Amino acid sequence: MRVSNISQAKDLLEQHGQRQILAFCDELNDQQQGQLVSQINKLDFNNLDKWINELVLNTPLADIPDDFKPAPYYKATPQENEQKALYDKALKLGRELISGGKVAAFVVAGGQGTRLGFDGPKGNYPVSPVKNKTLFQLFAEQIKANSNRYGVDLAWYIMTSPLNDAQTKEIFKENDYFGLGEDNVFIFQQGTMPNFGFDGKILMADKDKIACSPDGHGGSLKALFDSGAIDHMKARGVEYASYYQVDNPLINIFDPLFVGLHALAEAQMSSKTLIKAYPKEKVGNFCIVDGKMTVIEYSDLPDEHAERKNPDGSLVFELGSIAIHMVSRSFVEKINEKGFALPWHRAEKKIPYIDAQGNKVKPTKPNGVKLESFVFDALPMTTSSIILETLRENEFGPVKNATGIDSAESSRELMIACWAGWLEDAGVKVPRKADGSVDAVIEIAAGFALDADELKSKVNEIPEIKAGDSVYLG
């Protein structure tokens, strides 16, 4: 039901126990009242009371089925001859699909990045070891280098949220779309969810503003469709979106093996995995539940399962999810045309709000609940989905925090370690400290080499690297 003015809004909010939204409406001018009414119209009153009861006022217990087993997967390198033939076929097909412009980059960059505490879109965070390039610039250079390699303008889809959309667009404009050409970059916004106090009341960010936050990376599957990104893909002939997170500078966006294995399996949404370092590592676990591909979060995987070992000592549930997916356009079209909903996940957070007197409050401890959906919850909706192993040192260096674990600092170390590995593969001597870590600051631009093999062809252009050197290959 839509309301057209404050008085209609009052009745509607009364029915749902949310009158506090209008607590200050008498102080608002006509324009502010109009804006508030349009925010109220965006609330999903058909589901609101149910969500509040089930997820805000209560903490639902994780619904872990009795019967689940580890998911099958493809190892990073083929294990026997028949598999080698399959990987060769997949590589060939993957390269053809990329060259045909049928694969696009798709980064989700709508998050709030609260842990990093950086002012502005996370993609604008400077991160590369020598040149301090931003995440956006690193991705753009990788897309450009792939466009050159495959002889086609590859498209880049970027999901933002109302929090950072304008700033993100400004950054791309200021940087002239990082040399990719405006036509090859499509920036679109995801949806939002209202924030709740622990009493189930929607919080207000200001007298005329409902407190909202992005609806989670799961919102991407709807936003792709609603924003017109899917139509844009269709018009360009893009069939697959290579999904990754804005905080992983080590992502290999156009991996022909992953594309090819996904396409050969006629899969709808596929994933990359890494082998967990320890049983309760904070990554989701790929499992088969009732015959369906499913990710069980680390916090929901019972200890006895997490700790279970195979006779060879490996973990039974060893496949960690690192938020790298291949998504078929036809899958996004199909689920949106049929209508779908991903489950909401509850998170207790510090949510800035205005109190009953209208004072702005910045809480120091969690004061309410945000609801988010996760993209991997779409996996059980697929009828075909493959998993490909990737090596941690090659493709996973998340920037979540300012310092410590999963920080810009650790991500830089991982980038250096990865590039040092490529150099050594190519026969270049890399200085190392006694503990084995690299004793130099190294950066290899995507335009110089996209992978270890390409670096081998440039070995003559690489200077000698001495301990303590800062080396940029670009």
Q: Which residues bind ligand UTP (CB under 6 A)?
A: 108-116, 122, 159, 161, 190, 214-217, 219, 245-247, 372, 400
Residue 69 Cβ vs ligand UTP, minimum distance, rounded to whole Å = 27
How many CA within 13 A on the CB side of residue 92? 6
CB of 294 to ligand UTP, least distance (A): 19
| For ligand UTP, the closer CB: 216 or 256 | 216
Nearer to ligand UTP by Cβ, of 94 and 320: the residue is: 320
| Two tokens, residue 443 | 């950066």
Residues 6+ apart with CB under 8 A from 460: none
Closer to ligand UTP by CB, 115 or 292: give it. 115
CB of 113 to ligand UTP, least distance (A): 5
As measured in angstroms, the least distance from the Cβ of 44 to ligand UTP is 16
Other beta carbons within 10 angstroms of residue 161's beta carbon come to 23
Please list the residues that pair with 441 across neighbouring strands: 470
Q: Whose Cβ is closer to ligand UTP: residue 219's or residue 256's?
A: 219
Which of these, 265, 345, 262, 310, lies nearest to 69 by C-alpha position? 310
* Smaller CB separation from ligand UTP, 79 or 114: 114
Q: Which is nearer to ligand UTP, 210 or 246 (CB)?
A: 246
What type of residue is 351? Answer: I
Q: Least distance (Å) from ligand UTP to the CB of residue 270?
A: 18
CB of residue 227 vs ligand UTP: minimum separation in angstroms?
Answer: 13
Distance CA 381, CA 286 (A): 14
* Of 47 and 114, CB closest to ligand UTP: 114
Q: Whose Cβ is closer to ligand UTP: residue 349's or residue 392's?
A: 349
Is the separation of the CB atoms in 373 and 216 below 8 Å? yes
Q: Which two tokens stand for residue 143?
A: 């897309």
Radius of gyration over alpha carbons of the chain, in Å?
A: 24
Q: How many Cα atoms sit within 13 Å of 90 on the Cβ side?
A: 25
In the complex, the smallest distance separating the C-beta of residue 332 from ligand UTP, rounded to whole angstroms, is 16
Contact 186, 157 (CB under 8 A): yes
- The whole-angstrom separation of Cα 240 and Cα 263 is 9
Which residue in the shown chain puts its C-beta closest to ligand UTP?
A: 111
CA 398 vs. chain centroid, Å, equals: 11
Identify which of residues 111 and 129 has a Cβ nearer to ligand UTP in the complex: 111
The residue (of 161 and 227) whose beta carbon lies closer to ligand UTP is 161
Q: How far is the CB of 455 from ligand UTP (least distance, A)?
A: 28
Helix axes 81-99, 135-150, angle to 10 degrees: 100
Write b or e for each residue in 98-135: b if 16 or more Cβ atoms lie within 10 A of its Cβ, otherwise e. Answer: beebbbbbbbbbbbebeebeeeebbbbbebbbbeebbb
Whole-number minimum distance, CB 196 to ligand UTP, in Å? 16
Encode 174-210: b = buried (16+ Cβ within 10 Å), e = exposed.
Answer: eeebbebeeebbbbbbbbbbbbbbeebbbbbbebbeb
Q: Kindly state the smallest distance separating residue 109's Cβ from ligand UTP, in Å.
A: 5
